């Protein structure tokens, strides 16, 4: 039987693990190796160049810009998105009118409707969302400037994605728009599991809504907030920011490199400029940033776990 057990384990693990090793683990290892070569990606020949790519990185102005933007994405986007989502979720679950004989805290009416609507962007592809907003931001025929004209702000007609000072914020706005709903639903589920007696006790002690939020809701929800934070940061450094920047901005990454992010720069160096080795070097930098981000959030956020 012992023999049969191991044969079973090997038989069941071989295929998934093999596929995973071949398409995920092996390329990761390779790319770290390639970052020390002068491989172009176009020809199979290359030689080791030591840390040349890394020292080139230090002098690459566009790299520093992309690093700056990526850090901004990883730090600011989760803060804005999660704060908004916590606010909405608190309103939905605790902001309701007090009803006679009802529970002490209650959700607003139609709370399930809000949750359904807010979640819409989450089921759409980020690529489709990015395309949609690329049109909405169009300075002449886009929906947004048209609304501004409609409410009498004829002089406020920003170029949005065409303005180097504004483009990055416009792109970040789209990511906020598309992810807030997910966190509202996530936090709502967490808030619903907080026992009502806690709120009752707080209200009896004279706590207002804000105190209740900061002293009861937030601490009890902290684990969810923290993992949501890491999740959002990884998305903002990786796939999501790639899609929005690559699809929405001119260049992509423009105007004048004002929106370029690390993940896009990796892609451009590898598949547009034929500098695969240098691309993997930028990718290694991205890996370091991602892991550092996750470590910092986990460490800063560490608190005593509250049981309830």
| Residues between 255 and 294 that touch another protein (CB under 8 A) | 263, 266-267, 270-271, 276, 279-280, 283-284, 286-287, 290-291, 294
CA 308 from centre of chain: 30
Is residue 235 part of the contact set for another protein (CB under 8 A)?
A: no
Is residue 226 part of the contact set for another protein (CB under 8 A)?
A: no
Round to whole Å and give the CA distance between 245 and 251: 9
| Nearest alpha-carbon partner for 237 in 79, 71, 126, 121 | 71
Is residue 11 part of the contact set for another protein (CB under 8 A)?
A: yes
**Binding residue for another protein, selected from 68, 122, 157, 250, defined by CB under 8 A:** 122
Strand partners, 37: 48
Kindly state the DSSP code that residue 163 receives in the 8-state scheme.
-
* Least gap, CB of 194 to another protein (angstroms): 14
Residues 6+ away with beta carbon under 8 Å from 152? none
Round to whole Å and give the CA distance between 65 and 298: 26
Kindly state the DSSP code that residue 254 receives in the 8-state scheme.
-
* Contact stretch for another protein (CB under 8 A) within 46-54, 55-63, 125-133, 155-163: 125-133
137 touches 160 (CB < 8 A): yes
- Tokens representing 76 are 């600011």
* Least gap, CB of 255 to another protein (angstroms): 16
* Least gap, CB of 144 to another protein (angstroms): 9
Nearer to another protein, 176 or 198 (CB): 176
Round to whole Å and give the CA distance between 272 and 215: 52
Is residue 308 part of the contact set for another protein (CB under 8 A)?
A: no
Is residue 86 part of the contact set for another protein (CB under 8 A)?
A: no
**Binding residue for another protein, selected from 71, 80, 91, 296, defined by CB under 8 A:** 91
CA 139 from centre of chain: 27
Nearer to another protein, 133 or 160 (CB): 133
How many residues at the interface with another protein, by CB under 8 A?
A: 109
Which residues inside 43-82 make contact with another protein, applying CB under 8 A? none
CB neighbourhood size of 276 (10 A):
22
Round to whole Å and give the CA distance between 294 and 238: 13
* Contact stretch for another protein (CB under 8 A) within 57-65, 73-81, 130-138, 163-171: 130-138
Which residues inside 155-194 make contact with another protein, applying CB under 8 A? 177, 180-182, 185-186, 189-190
* Least gap, CB of 109 to another protein (angstroms): 4
Nearer to another protein, 50 or 206 (CB): 206
Strand partners, 48: 37
Is residue 201 part of the contact set for another protein (CB under 8 A)?
A: no
With 0-12 / 13-18 / 19 or more C-beta atoms within 10 angstroms meaning exposed / middle / buried, residue 35 is buried
| Nearest alpha-carbon partner for 275 in 56, 63, 67, 41 | 41
Which residues inside 133-152 make contact with another protein, applying CB under 8 A? 133-136, 140-143, 146-147, 150
Is residue 228 part of the contact set for another protein (CB under 8 A)?
A: yes
């Amino acid at each position: 039987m012992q023999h049969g057990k191991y044969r079973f384990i090997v038989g069941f693990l071989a295929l998934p693990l093999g596929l995973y090793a071949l398409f995920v683990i092996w390329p990761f290892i390779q790319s770290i190796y390639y970052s020390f070569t002068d491989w172009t990606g176009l020809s199979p020949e290359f030689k080791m160049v030591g840390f040349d790519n890394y020292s080139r990185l230090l002098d690459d102005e566009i790299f520093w810009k992309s690093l700056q933007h990526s850090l901004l994405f990883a730090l600011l986007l989760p803060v804005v998105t999660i704060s908004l989502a916590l606010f909405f979720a608190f309103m939905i679950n605790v902001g309701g009118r007090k009803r006679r004989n009802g529970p002490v805290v209650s959700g607003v009416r139609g709370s399930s409707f809000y949750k359904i609507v807010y979640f819409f962007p989450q089921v759409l592809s980020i690529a489709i969302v990015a395309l949609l907003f690329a049109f909405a931001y169009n300075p002449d025929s886009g929906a947004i400037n048209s609304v501004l004209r409609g409410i009498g702000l004829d002089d406020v007609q920003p170029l949005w994605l065409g303005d180097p000072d504004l483009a990055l914020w416009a792109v970040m706005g789209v990511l906020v728009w598309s992810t807030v709903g997910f966190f509202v639903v996530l936090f709502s589920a967490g808030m619903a599991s907080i026992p009502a007696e806690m709120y009752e006790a707080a209200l009896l002690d004279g706590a207002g809504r804000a105190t209740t939020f900061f002293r009861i809701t937030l601490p009890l929800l902290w684990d969810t907030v923290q993992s949501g934070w890491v999740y959002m940061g990884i998305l903002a450094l990786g796939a999501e920011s790639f899609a929005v920047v690559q699809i929405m901005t001119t260049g992509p990454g423009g105007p004048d490199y004002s929106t370029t992010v690390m993940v896009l720069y990796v892609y451009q160096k590898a598949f547009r400029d034929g500098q695969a080795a240098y691309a993997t070097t930028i990718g290694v930098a991205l890996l370091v940033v991602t892991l550092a981000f996750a470590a910092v959030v986990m460490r800063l956020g560490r608190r005593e776990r509250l049981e309830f």
